[in-house]
Amino acid sequence: MRAAHSPDVSFTVMLTIVWFVLARFPGAASTVAAECPDQWPELQPWNPGHDPDYYVHIGQGRALLLISSATVHSIHISEGGKLVIKDQDEAIVLRTRHILIDNGGELHAGSALCPFQGNFSIILYGRADEDVQPDPYFGLKYIGVDRGGTLELHGQKKLSWTFLNKTLHPGGMEEGGYFFERSWGHRGVIVHVIDPKSGTVIHSDRFDTYRSKKESERLAQYLNTVPEGRILSVAVNDEGSRNLDDVARKAMTKLGSKHFLHLGFRHPWSFLTVKGNPSSSVEDHIEYHGHHGSAAARVFKLFRTEHGELFNVSSSSEWVQDVEWTEWFEHDQVSYTKGGEKISDLRATHPGKICNRPIDIQATTVDGVNLTTEVVYKRGQDYRFVCYDQGQDCQSYRVRFLCGKPVRPKLTVTIDTNVNSTILNLEDNVQSWKPGDILVIASTDYSMYQAEEFQVLPCKACASKQVKVAGRTFPHPSIGLMKLKIVRLKVD
Ligand SMILES: *[C@@H]1O[C@H](CO)[C@@H](O)[C@H](O)[C@H]1NC(C)=O
Ligand SMILES: *[C@@H]1O[C@H](CO)[C@@H](O)[C@H](O)[C@H]1NC(C)=O
Ligand SMILES: *[C@@H]1O[C@H](CO)[C@@H](O)[C@H](O)[C@H]1NC(C)=O
Ligand SMILES: *[C@@H]1O[C@H](CO)[C@@H](O)[C@H](O)[C@H]1NC(C)=O
Ligand SMILES: *[C@@H]1O[C@H](CO)[C@@H](O)[C@H](O)[C@H]1NC(C)=O
């Protein structure tokens, strides 16, 4: 191994070699012990402490077992000397300017049959301007193995790179999560009980508190039986107030709602809480009666699973009014009508095609050039409009209207398990990639401008060919295309 000199003034090269836990190899314990270098009987425990002036030489007859982090000037292992790193739970960090292994010297951390399972790092330190004589071959910072030297470093094998199997989409509900949407036919108060440990829906129910008082009682009872600590999402779809009695209103108030007491006819209302913790509640309520236009009561709240993954629970209770343009109606010979043209006349000519109360109107020449229109008169539903072409009345034109469709209720409940994160679908098994590892996602054309680093996050729901990474957005517009598809594990 050889590391280049750094001519820079202050610069620390870090070489970090990290191993992760791997399932034990099958076989009798004694065999395993014999294969593990740190079990060799001749080893003497070694704890050199932190002394940057200590020039370590491990020579004939010395076999040392490094049992804790240490800082030394440099290490030279030769003439049958051995240095073995103890495989233990506690991390070991060895700081030195260089390590030279030659002439029968040996350095071991794990072996092929007994991979290192702990966490061991070697940090090579030092500055170029410190007046240290470089080795003529290895330079200043190095782990150098010369003639007769042995270096054995064995950790868990990690897949070093693979391809994306699917175009990258930032986050979203595509992988896992929960999505619930209802409109007509699902009237009342809709409750979801969610497990705070996993972010999964345990149970959900609907209470038609428009139809009957009994449903109101059932709602209150249901809320009482939910165990403390569970997440509750409660929202109205369509109508939920007509037969809502005091018992139910009070049960919801106890959970932390401030608006449910005053829930009125067709009001959108959304609520999220943790049972037993009213101060955790979030709520939205609109005093709108479901006639014209749209209105939405929306809430969301972030939670963390027991494995530390964020999830976003959100709900919206809405009235939605979709709009649609009519077809174009042509006017070849328009005689000027005093006070403008009546929409009711047009409607009579084209029965069933134009709504009573258009939201917008648009006119163009027959060639499609925009004209100016103005609604000049309305009495009741008798709208009139005039059309101008550069200040003159329009001669020959076509006109269309924007009509509101009947309002419809809409309720959605969403659990997004990819908050600030993205799931990558890969071509190989990547179970060797662990939380904290850094990935580089790079373009197959190797442009450094099309590469980005991501940190691996814990992901219980991921399959063997999936990995979850921190971050949701990709600054390069071209990332997200299949073209950008090599994923490489970064070696620090
Ligand atoms: C290994 O130990 C180093 C130094 O203590 C630490 O920075 C690193 O996070 C550890 N890695 C793991 C995977 O525990
Ligand atoms: C992606 O992976 C899935 C499952 O492993 C496989 O069925 C599918 O064919 C792969 N798609 C591509 C484009 O390689
Ligand atoms: C949670 O979800 C809601 C609804 O989709 C969204 O508006 C909100 O931004 C999300 N919050 C976070 C932090 O992702
Ligand atoms: C005409 O008006 C419509 C609606 O206001 C607009 O979308 C369109 O771009 C306009 N066309 C031109 C050519 O200005
Ligand atoms: C999501 O990421 C942004 C940018 O890194 C950060 O500012 C924000 O706090 C993160 N949100 C959560 C909920 O972690």
Same domain, 42 and 68: yes
Strand partners, 383: 378
Residue 420: the pLDDT is 81
What pLDDT score was predicted for residue 395? Answer: 80
> What are the DSSP calls for 73-87, one per residue?
SEEEE-TT-EEEE--
Domain end among 416, 443, 466: 416
CA of 472 to the centre of ligand 5 (A): 10
Confidence label for 415 from pLDDT (cuts 50, 70 and 90) = very high
Q: Is residue 368 part of a domain?
A: yes
479 shares a domain with 356: no
Residue 335 and residue 310 share a domain: no
Q: Domain residues for 265?
A: 178-316+410-416
With beta carbons less than 8 A apart as the criterion, state whether 209 and 237 touch. no
Whether residues 117 and 222 fall in one domain: no
Q: Is 4 in the pocket of ligand 5 (CB under 6 A)?
A: no
pLDDT digits (tens, 9 = 90+) for 136-195: 999 889 999 999 999 999 987 888 888 888 766 544 445 568 999 999 999 999 999 999
Q: Evaluate if residue 85 carries a pLDDT over 90.
A: yes
Question: Cβ distance 173 to 414 under 8 Å?
Answer: yes
- Ligand 5 centroid distance, CA of 470 (Å): 9
- Quick one: average pLDDT of 57-68? 96
Q: Is 212 found in the same domain as 110?
A: no
Ligand 5 pocket, mutate which of 311, 418, 420 (most atoms under 8 A from CB): 420
* Rounded CA separation 70/91 (Å): 11
CA of 363 to the centre of ligand 4 (A): 10
Q: Are residues 184 and 302 in the same domain?
A: yes
Q: Which residues are CB-neighbours of 102 under 8 A, at least 6 positions away?
A: 76, 77, 78, 144, 145, 146, 147, 148, 149
Q: Which helix (H) or strand (E) holds 123?
A: strand 120-124
The pLDDT value given to residue 309: 81
CA distance 299 to 316: 7
* Nearest protein CA to atom 9 of ligand 3, as residue: 300
Structural domain includes residue 139: yes
Cβ of residue 412 lying under 6 Å from some atom of ligand 3: no
Q: What is the mean pLDDT of residues 310-338?
A: 85
Q: 414 C-alpha vs ligand 3 centroid, how far in Å? A: 10
The answer on 152 and 16 residing in a single domain is yes
Q: What is the pTM of this model?
A: 0.61
Tens digits of residue pLDDT in 453-487: 888 988 888 899 998 888 765 544 444 333 334 45
List own/partner pairs for 5-9 with CB under 8 A and 24 or more apart.
5/128, 5/134, 5/139, 5/140, 5/141, 6/128, 6/140, 6/141, 7/128, 8/128, 9/127, 9/128, 9/129
pLDDT at 327 over 90: yes
Minimum mean pLDDT range among 128-132, 317-321, 403-407, 482-486: 482-486
Query: Does ligand 5 have an atom closer than 6 angstroms to the CB of 113?
Result: no
Say how far apart CA 106 and CA 63 lie, in whole Å. Answer: 9
Q: What is the pLDDT of residues 193-222, one digit of tens each?
A: 999 999 999 999 999 999 999 999 999 999
